[in-house]
Structure 1
Amino acid sequence: MRNTLTRVGCWLAGALLCTAAAPALVAAPAALPREAAPAAPVREAVAADPAYKVLVFSKTAGFRHSSIDEGVTALRELGGAHNFTVDATEDAQAFTTGNLAQYKAVVFLSTTGDVLNATQQTAFEGYVQGGGGYVGVHAAADTEYDWPFYAGLAGALFHSHPHNQTATLKVEDRAHDATAHLGTSWQRFDEWYNYRTNPRTTAHVLASLDESSYTGGNMAGDHPISWCKDYQGGRAFYTGGGHTEASYTEPAFRRHLLGGIRWAAGMTEADCRPESGYTALFDGSGTTGWQQAGPGSFALADGTLTSQGGLGLLWYSGKEFTGDYSLKLDWRMTDDDNSGVFVGFPASGDPWSAVNNGYEIQIDATDTPDRTTGSVYGFKSADTAVRDAALNPPGEWNTYEIRVTGERLEVFLNGRKINDFTNTDPARSLRQGHIGLQNHGDGDQVSFRNVRIKPTATTPPPTTRTGEVKGVNGKCLDVAGGSSADGTQVQVWTCTGSTAQKWTVPTDGSLRALGKCLDVSGGGTADGTKIQLWTCNGTGAQKWQAQGDGTVRNPQSGKCLDAEGATWNDGTKVHLWTCHTGPNQKWTLP
């Protein structure tokens, strides 16, 4: 994995490191973390990324920003310093499937109006659905109002703006690479857009405007200005800054752009799922409600807790958490370091109580599988392949979500699920206890930010739906001959009520009949690829999404379920075809 380390340590049960020279673990008076000197700012330089290419697109069909040239220059300079090549164009003919394939991200730099035709739009949709990255800068939100795909990709579209002025931004996420270098607030002079909708429910907000700090904001006090989201297989980042020429010489704004590009291009990871309803346990302003158990402590600077010394535990004594909850926090290793997050332990001034009665979610990527980052320490390894793909290296921030549902413990790293553990020990319970942050020992420096929690209601799993899938001429989606053999052709047929026409729509995106899944043969993407029945395997060839226009799309290929030809009799084969919303692509699911 890209942040493989070489550390070898001596371990005791529960992940407290011991060496011959380690002091004895003794109870220590409760102490809050001491205030430290301000931490050094996060560097603009980042770990070397592999070389990649970015397309910067700045075509305008409406107002043209005078800062576009400065923006292109800044992006070229960032690319030269950070190992990516910038191709800049205002020619929409660059939007072909073949040309876009060479780019890890496409930057819409203050584009305005309708800048792509239908063919170019289709190519760009396929690029995003195939995992491509989008970066929208400023007037990218003033673009393509009649293209629903783009509105969803951008997250929100322009409504209006007041005059240029200085405003205060609240930095809501200090773990994402686009905002980790900032403090909890950021003052900038720019042109501040109001948006037609609030993107918070569909995107993860990185920064928002304090509408009391300037005049002309009209979003009722909740005014996102930068956000990220996973979108139809790709990644989308947007920032409302960048109207002025001076923006592109500001070090903090340039670093903001760099982080957005790196994330959209897949060079760094982040949790970009929408987030709301969390209560801060540590927001950077102080440590009220926290106590230190055992030796060592945490330094507090720049809204960040950093472990020092140990073997101890900073635990939240302000509340014992019962029932189901989601705990989120951001963490960063300085180098080859060790720490962990404890849940489900009773109140105690002895850190061994957390070890012996709770569970630790480990932070250290260099030990045995059940003692590495994402493991439930000593009990269950993380899915190391998924973990390695989601993990940022030392020096960069990561985000954990630790989700407790009954006695089930799920761990998400930067938005990806990496562990799923169920407690069966009657002496322990995840449903009741405190949470804590470990300070592991001398030389281990792990930092934490933005510790927050919310209760989650236990709801029954969504029920599946079963019935006929009806298509063109009222005919039913049918498994030929009622055969459950792998490779059996799927067709349309007069509805008979037989089991060959009973389809189940579960919550995993598949369509199932006769115990098997609707499948794109070979995972193909070409028009005319056979649609068949196949053993369920969870691949993209077996994922289907019902669209608002009545089509059923396979996201992996970006194409639609289609009854072939122009006359649709019993036995007409079903295949994959470019979406065109004709009657032979309209389906009604149970």
Structure 2
Amino acid sequence: MRRHPRTLLGGAVALLAAMACTVPAGPAAAADAPYDVLVFSKTAGFRHDAIPVGIQTIRDLGATNTFTVTATEDANHFTTGNLSRYEAVIFLNTTGDVLNDTQQSAFQSYIGSGGGFVGVHSAADTEYNWPFYGNLVGAYFASHPAIQQANIKVEDRAHAATAHAPQTWTRTDEWYNFRTNPRAGARVLATLDESSYSGGSMGADHPHAWCKTYSGGRAFYTGGGHTQASYAEPAFRAHLLGGIRYAAGRTKADCRPESGYAALYNGSTTGWSQAGPGGFTNSDATLSSYGGLGLLWYSARQFTNYSLKLDWRMLGDDNSGVFIGFPPSNDPNSAMTNGYEVQIDATDAPDRTTGSIYAVKAPDTAARDAALNPPGEWNTFELLVEGERLQVFLNGAKINEFTNTDPARSLAGHIGIQNHGTGDDVSFRNIRLRELGGPTPTPGTGPIVGIGGKCLDLRNGSSADGTQVQIWSCSGAASQQWTVTPGSTIRALGKCLDISGSSTANGAKVQLWTCHGGANQNWQAQSDGSVRNPQSGKCLDVSGNSSADGAVVHLWSCHGGANQKWTLP
């Protein structure tokens, strides 16, 4: 964008002197093209004393990371023309209603034109009556306990905001509980471990930081940043910088919602075998290649229809790849001959470059180049296999599609990662897989029968959002006719089986609700007869182990009891 002079508002505060010796977050692996951010810190409610320190921190980050900062509390900056000057707008500990209708409209247009949003801490305590903002920020503040130390569980160690962090990140701050769980609409980067502190109210799935694309723009939110001391922490400064870079489009990430994946590797190599010379070191839940030509392959089982996601990083002009669809073998050449390789090497020939089906089909290089992070930064692949069709996504963007027609090969089989040779240094993290159940899952329609031979039923035959799900004597009524799509939704009367409020708590209400594709409407049948919600890891359960007509169905920890056994159509 065009460069503009900046007037920086506000002065340094006393704490900044104490921060002078703090090591700032390091620069990106490659210098970003210069950009501009607007820091907005207007408050119409509680005012955080960390705001001046936060502003100065963002200025400091900008000075060493090629972006300039305008800081303001004047909402008149929110005009279409003025906002177009910025790649990202940061709501830094804002509270209450801070924009009027005209200013809201300008900001909404800015996001719709591809702008970026960063929300820090009480940005979630802002604009409760503006639905667009609520969807953009991801969740609204509900409550918080006293400031204390807690453990943050980092789920996504590829995003620039969290790639530097350990799997368990321990720090002190004010920890927000949120009114809803944002997971259905965002990629959760980190959650809070409620067992590590007092006052959490969201249970086992307590998101703390997340990213998303929304209405044409990009959004990042972190619950951290209440205390002045936060902004002196190198790790928190790096967290903030990564979120700013993502929102400004200077680093790419897969911020699509994600649920239902099982870890194949997240620190443990159980189930994996090395074929051929060389191998991978295993440290900090990261596999780093050495020597070769070899292959680390998941020998525990084969896969047919699935979504495979994994994070990878090159240090320079390196070479590796992800192999799929090969039979079991301790010879790495077997994978090359009988399977297919999705290549990692951005400088090779078009049909042998990053995102290609090696020596078979080149990627859409323009889409690949737009999605690719440079050496030194993490990237995320999704390999989506449906029958003999393979789609390749890089940082959430589709870059290749291929259909196998070779009768001697198949996309079904084992998966593996390559250690190409000495000097080809590629690392991998968070290898996870979600099975799809079939190339085109066929829905079944009919009654769902549970304990006592009773049917899953909608109370009073209602199709209204929020209708309680129960069991009742089977009658063949429309309110007992369910359409089950394997690994996906369970529907009746045109709506979906839903967990109220995306709750993961035992006893959470199971209800009928308009289908929206959220994780709280995803159900997977298990081999033991239970029906599980992957987001919570809990089961469809009849309260009190009752078989009486009208017994309520809710969410509960899976235990294999008769009240969690279901016969699906």
Q: What TM-score range do you get, normalising by the shorter chain?
A: 0.7 to 0.9
Question: Which residue identity lines up with residue 311 of structure 1 in the other structure?
Answer: L
> For residues 320-351 of structure 1, what are the alpha-carbon distances to aligned partners after superposition, in whole Å with 9 as ceiling and x for unaligned?
112x1000000000111000000000000000
**Shift of the alpha carbon at 1:368?**
1.0
**Shift of the alpha carbon at 1:221?**
1.6
**Paired position in structure 1 for 2:300:** 318
Q: Is the 8 A contact 1:330 1:449 kept in 2?
A: yes
Q: Is structure 2 residue 283 aligned with structure 1 residue 301?
A: yes
Which one of 442, 449, 452 corresponds to residue 429 of structure 2? 449
Aligned CA distance change for structure 1 residues 382 and 314 (closer, same or farther; 3 Å): same
**Paired position in structure 2 for 1:159:** 142
**Paired position in structure 1 for 2:235:** 252
**Paired position in structure 2 for 1:344:** 325
Q: Is structure 2 residue 311 aligned with structure 1 residue 330?
A: yes
Question: Which residue identity lines up with residue 272 of structure 1 in the other structure?
Answer: C
**Paired position in structure 2 for 1:68:** 51
Q: Is the 8 A contact 1:43 1:181 kept in 2?
A: no
Matches within 5 A, 1:101-112: 101-112=84-95
Which one of 260, 266, 271 corresponds to residue 277 of structure 1? 260
Q: Is the 8 A contact 1:56 1:89 kept in 2?
A: yes
Q: Is structure 2 residue 163 aligned with structure 1 residue 180?
A: yes
Q: Is structure 2 residue 226 aligned with structure 1 residue 226?
A: no
Gaps of 5+ in 1: 1-41, 463-547, 549-590
**Shift of the alpha carbon at 1:312?**
0.6
Secondary structure in 2 matching 1:314: strand
**Shift of the alpha carbon at 1:128?**
0.1
Counterpart-to-counterpart distance in 2, 1:276 and 1:49: 32
Counterpart-to-counterpart distance in 2, 1:457 and 1:264: 35
Structure number with the bigger relative contact order (C-alpha 8 A, sep ≥ 6) is: 1
**Paired position in structure 1 for 2:69:** 86
> For residues 117-143 of structure 1, what are the alpha-carbon distances to aligned partners after superposition, in whole Å with 9 as ceiling and x for unaligned?
000000000000000000000000000
TM-score of the two chains, using structure 1 as the length reference: 0.70
Question: Which residue identity lines up with residue 442 of structure 1 in the other structure?
Answer: T
Question: Which residue identity lines up with residue 266 of structure 2 in the other structure?
Answer: D
Q: Is the 8 A contact 2:27 2:64 kept in 1?
A: no
Aligned CA distance change for structure 1 residues 43 and 355 (closer, same or farther; 3 Å): farther
**Paired position in structure 1 for 2:416:** 436
Counterpart-to-counterpart distance in 2, 1:460 and 1:338: 34
Counterpart-to-counterpart distance in 2, 1:460 and 1:287: 32
Counterpart-to-counterpart distance in 1, 2:169 and 2:278: 33
Q: Is the 8 A contact 2:186 2:212 kept in 1?
A: yes
Counterpart-to-counterpart distance in 2, 1:235 and 1:360: 31
> For residues 91-135 of structure 1, what are the alpha-carbon distances to aligned partners after superposition, in whole Å with 9 as ceiling and x for unaligned?
000000000000000000000000000000000000000000000
Secondary structure in 1 matching 2:30: coil
Matches within 5 A, 1:17-416: 44-284=27-267, 286-322=268-304, 324-416=305-397
Question: Which residue identity lines up with residue 447 of structure 1 in the other structure?
Answer: S
Counterpart-to-counterpart distance in 2, 1:427 and 1:328: 26
Secondary structure in 2 matching 1:453: strand
**Shift of the alpha carbon at 1:249?**
0.6
> For residues 188-228 of structure 1, what are the alpha-carbon distances to aligned partners after superposition, in whole Å with 9 as ceiling and x for unaligned?
10000000000001000000000100011000221000000
Secondary structure in 2 matching 1:321: coil
**Shift of the alpha carbon at 1:43?**
5.3
**Shift of the alpha carbon at 1:300?**
1.2
Counterpart-to-counterpart distance in 1, 2:416 and 2:232: 42
**Paired position in structure 2 for 1:586:** none
**Paired position in structure 2 for 1:422:** 403
Question: Which residue identity lines up with residue 354 of structure 2 in the other structure?
Answer: T
**Shift of the alpha carbon at 1:461?**
10
**Paired position in structure 1 for 2:470:** none
Question: Which residue identity lines up with residue 312 of structure 2 in the other structure?
Answer: W
Counterpart-to-counterpart distance in 1, 2:223 and 2:433: 29
Gaps of 5+ in 2: 1-24, 443-515, 517-569
**Paired position in structure 1 for 2:482:** none
Q: In angstroms, what is the RMSD of aligned CA positions?
A: 1.5
Counterpart-to-counterpart distance in 1, 2:78 and 2:168: 38
Q: Is the 8 A contact 1:202 1:274 kept in 2?
A: yes
Counterpart-to-counterpart distance in 1, 2:27 and 2:354: 26
Counterpart-to-counterpart distance in 2, 1:92 and 1:206: 30
Counterpart-to-counterpart distance in 2, 1:87 and 1:442: 47
Question: Which residue identity lines up with residue 384 of structure 2 in the other structure?
Answer: R
**Shift of the alpha carbon at 1:263?**
0.4
Counterpart-to-counterpart distance in 2, 1:47 and 1:65: 34
Counterpart-to-counterpart distance in 2, 1:222 and 1:440: 38
Q: Is the 8 A contact 1:44 1:255 kept in 2?
A: no
> For residues 468-513 of structure 1, what are the alpha-carbon distances to aligned partners after superposition, in whole Å with 9 as ceiling and x for unaligned?
xxxxxxxxxxxxxxxxxxxxxxxxxxxxxxxxxxxxxxxxxxxxxx
Question: Which residue identity lines up with residue 295 of structure 1 in the other structure?
Answer: P
Question: Which residue identity lines up with residue 451 of structure 1 in the other structure?
Answer: I
Secondary structure in 2 matching 1:360: strand
**Shift of the alpha carbon at 1:46?**
3.3
Q: Is the 8 A contact 2:27 2:65 kept in 1?
A: no
> For residues 377-431 of structure 1, what are the alpha-carbon distances to aligned partners after superposition, in whole Å with 9 as ceiling and x for unaligned?
011000000000000000000000000001000000000000000000001111x
TM-score of the two chains, using structure 2 as the length reference: 0.73
**Shift of the alpha carbon at 1:457?**
3.9
> For residues 53-106 of structure 1, what are the alpha-carbon distances to aligned partners after superposition, in whole Å with 9 as ceiling and x for unaligned?
000000000000000000000000000010100000000000000000000000
Counterpart-to-counterpart distance in 2, 1:307 and 1:259: 26
